[in-house]
Structure 1
Amino acid sequence: MNGSKIAERDDAASAIPRVLRVSAALSWRTLVILGAVYVLGLVLGQIYVVVIPVAIALLLSALLAPVVSWLAARRVPRALATALVLIGGLAVVGGVLTFVINAFIAGFPDLQRQVIASLTALKSSLAEGPLHINDAQIDAFLQQAQDWLQANQAVLTSGALSTAGTFGNFLTGLVLALFTLIFFLHDGRRVWLFVTGLAPKHVRHKVDVAGCRGFESLVGYVRATALVAVVDALGIGLGLVVLGVPLAIPLAALVFLGGFVPIVGAVASGSVAVLVALVTKGWVTALIVIGVVLLVQQLEGNVLQPLLLGRAVQLHALAVVLAISIGAVVSGIIGALLAVPLVAVLNASIRSLLDDEEEGPGPTPEQEAEEAAEPPEDDEEPEPATPTGDR
């Protein structure tokens, strides 16, 4: 009886074209995956105040962890190495920010004078040009703008209060990111081993290897992106200095920060430099600055990106652009910043999971030295060797 039912079922299945069966199977599996991703996105959206600082701490740990491991390999206690790297990193960031702010304050009076002179010249051009806009019409436009500001004062005030609340969340996230970064640098391997311990025992090794591969890709991405950002800042900043554009150093620092969003960031920050050049030096200088920005972008897109980022993350330029676009649509600037490293980590991890012959990365010399320098405590049982050679 059961055999006849199975035979009838097989006959009914064979009556359906194979293309339709495969399409149906792929369709419901795709719907399940998309539903899971959607639910995960909703959950992460509710706790974004925690997720974003942790993600930023992971990026920073990818930049600083090799330095901590290098110090630990030379028999510096890991706690001391973590403290030295954090203090040194904070000192560098604080010094750069102080230098940029002081340069902006010092150059602001000159920028203000040049802006006023440019506005006066623009006003004369409007009056004497083909538009023949006189002073009375310009004053009427300014009066309309003032009336609009007064009419929307309540909206602007509420927006300012919202900004103040956002600033409070920013400070909270900054403290959480710093706290998380300390533990990632000091005890990141044990944290990861705890996470892999949640996986079934028969796949725990492959999950560990995939995580190590993903973190290696993240380290390569952060290093390559930082180098590309430095080249962008030096190229555009040098062009601004040669052309005598005010606030060249703060604008170069802005280009450096924008360089951490591949392809899009340097263009956006370079547009600010073009706008400053247009207001202060005129359209001829602005066109030259556009040429400098385009030249730097060609160097980045045709040389640095394929040579550095391509080797580090093994992603096509189209995948990078699409990831940035989707990240910007979903979460704005933060999404654009985190999209590419997320895709890079997923790409490396999934490739490792799909590779059945992957043996995993062997221990590096730094990890071997660190292993020898930090023997297990007496009250702890030694853990078995992991693919990275660390405990």
Structure 2
Amino acid sequence: MSERYQVPIGVEIATQWAWRLLVIGGAGLAVIWLLRYFSEISVPIAIALLGTALTAGAVNWLQDRGLPRLLSTFIVVIFMLVAFFGMLTLVGQQLSTQATQLRANVVDGISEVQRWAETGPLHLTDSQLKGWVDRAKESISSSDTSILTQAGEVGSTVTHLVAGFFIALFASFFFLYDGKRIWSWVVALFPRAARDKVDSSGHTAWTSLTAFVRATVLVAFTDAVGIALGAWLLGVPLTLAIGVLVFLGAFIPIIGALLSGMVAVLVALVSQGPLTALFMLLVVIAVQQLESHVLQPFLMGRLVAVHPLAIILAIGAGVTVAGVVGALIAVPLAACLNGIVHHLVASAKEYQDEPEPDVPLEPPESAGR
């Protein structure tokens, strides 16, 4: 009888880890595929959760002052709409009043670059360069008709955005008004033995998400005010539009405000010249240093406690999966997962540290029995 072939213990352990990791990875890919397939629903729901985390405290505050929950929710939602459309109105007004002058500055800037390339140290005389520059100038100074024609080609995308906006709006309203009952229904879907852990983990994740959103709003507001104020002092056009762009971009930590600040530098370059653009760049760098060394450690570090490396990896994964929207959602998702992991680890440690109850010893039986 031949001896049974023995698998080395290292290979056996590696195999057990491998198939479990494959199952976890497959489940994760399935979830990501479902979220992307239903992105017209999942993305507005995620945005609604972010908005709810930001404004739920206001609804509770109004309710504590004696207003009904329904009326409090209506007031907060209307305030959110007014703030959102107010920012869009300010940006649209600035674009309509200053876009023509900015367009002319861009065309003049391209002409200056062309003259420098031909008469400067490069001595470029290739006709292809001139043709490319002329096409760029023609594209920038094109009529509104061509712009409207291009906008008509993305009508489907606009329709999806409008539908997503209303889904996010209604979801935010019901999350604010009836969020506790919705969460109770979600918890009831789990097995009875796991409901307590699911409920406590959900509350922990919600606390982390609320802290993240509120801290991000403070950081974004500071970035927007700092960069917009610098642009205004330097005489850069589209100041309010730049501020709104920086505010929205700051919701992607570390890189969002920097990239949107580069737009301010570009506008300063084409409107005021390289010297103003250099000063604008210094303003953006100063604001970023303030965010990195003061705001992020004191707000994000204390309230969310997510390592900067984890934030970078989360942003990269979010961009890979869902582009800009993925980068927006990835960091709060990482904050929630971080809070849940810490909560479950702490719960398990408390359970292990609990002393075992003393069991009284039974008296020995008498020898006569």
**TM bin (shorter chain):** 0.7 to 0.9
Selected match of 1:222 from 209, 213, 234 = 213
RMSD, aligned α-carbons? 2.7
**CA drift at 1:212:** 0.4
C-alpha change, 1:146 and 1:232, in structure 2 (3 Å) is: closer
Structure 1 match to 2:298: 307
Task: Give unmatched runs, 5+ long, in structure 1.
Answer: 1-10, 149-155, 360-391
Q: 1:259 to 1:146 in 2, by over 3 A?
A: closer
Question: How many pairs does the alignment contain?
Answer: 341
Choose from 221, 241, 244 the match for 1:253. 244
| Cα drift, residue 18 of structure 1 | 4.3
2:132 match: 141
| 1:75 to partner: Cα distance | 2.2
1:364 alignment partner in structure 2: none
* Aligned residue in 2 for 1:354: 345
* Equivalent residue letter for 1:110: Q
* TM alignment of 1:52-67, pairs within 5 A: 52-67=43-58
* 1:164-203 equivalent positions in 2, closer than 5 A: 164-203=155-194
Residue identity opposite 1:187 in structure 2: D
Task: State the distance in 1 between where 2:171 and 2:289 align.
Answer: 37
What residue number does 1:208 align with?
199
Query: Could you say which residue in structure 2 is the equivalent of 1:152?
Result: none
Correspondence for 2:106 among 108, 115, 124: 115
Cα distance in 1, alignment partners of residues 291 and 268 from structure 2: 22
- Greater shift in the superposed pair: 130-139 or 300-309: 130-139
Q: Distance in 2 between matches of 1:181 and 1:31?
A: 36
Once the two structures are TM-superposed, the CA of residue 205 in structure 1 deviates from its matched residue by 1.3
RCO (CA 8 Å, sep 6+): is it higher in 1 or 2?
1
2:324 is the counterpart of 1:333:
yes
Match of 2:262 among 263, 271, 283: 271
| Equivalent position amino acid for 1:188 in 2 | G
Inter-CA distance 157–288: structure 2 relative to 1 (3 Å threshold): closer
Q: Give the direction of change, closer, same or farther, for the CA distance of 1:36–1:12 in structure 2 (3 Å limit).
A: farther
* TM-score between the two structures when normalised by the length of structure 1: 0.80
**TM superposition shift of 1:264:** 1.3
Against the structure 1 CA distance between its residues 18 and 73, is the aligned structure 2 distance closer, same or farther, given a 3 Å change threshold? Answer: farther
Runs (5+) with no aligned partner, structure 2: 140-146, 351-369
Aligned partner of 1:93 among 67, 76, 84 = 84
Contact 1:255–1:270 (CA<8 Å) still a contact in 2? Answer: yes
TM-score between the two structures when normalised by the length of structure 2: 0.85
In 2, Cα distance between equivalents of 1:80 and 1:240: 40
Distance in 1 separating the partners of 2:28 and 2:159: 30
The yes-or-no answer on 1:69 pairing with 2:72 is no
For each residue in 1:278-311, what CA deviation from the matched residue of structure 2 results, as whole angstroms up to 9, or x when unmatched?
A: 1122222222222211111111112211211122
Shift of 1:346: 1.5
Q: Sequence identity, in percent?
A: 42
For residue 241 of structure 1, give the secondary structure of its aligned residue in structure 2. Answer: helix
Name the SS of the counterpart of 1:86 in structure 2.
helix
The code of the aligned residue for 1:235 comes to G
Contact 2:70 2:177 in 1 (8 A): yes
Post-superposition offset of 1:188: 0.3
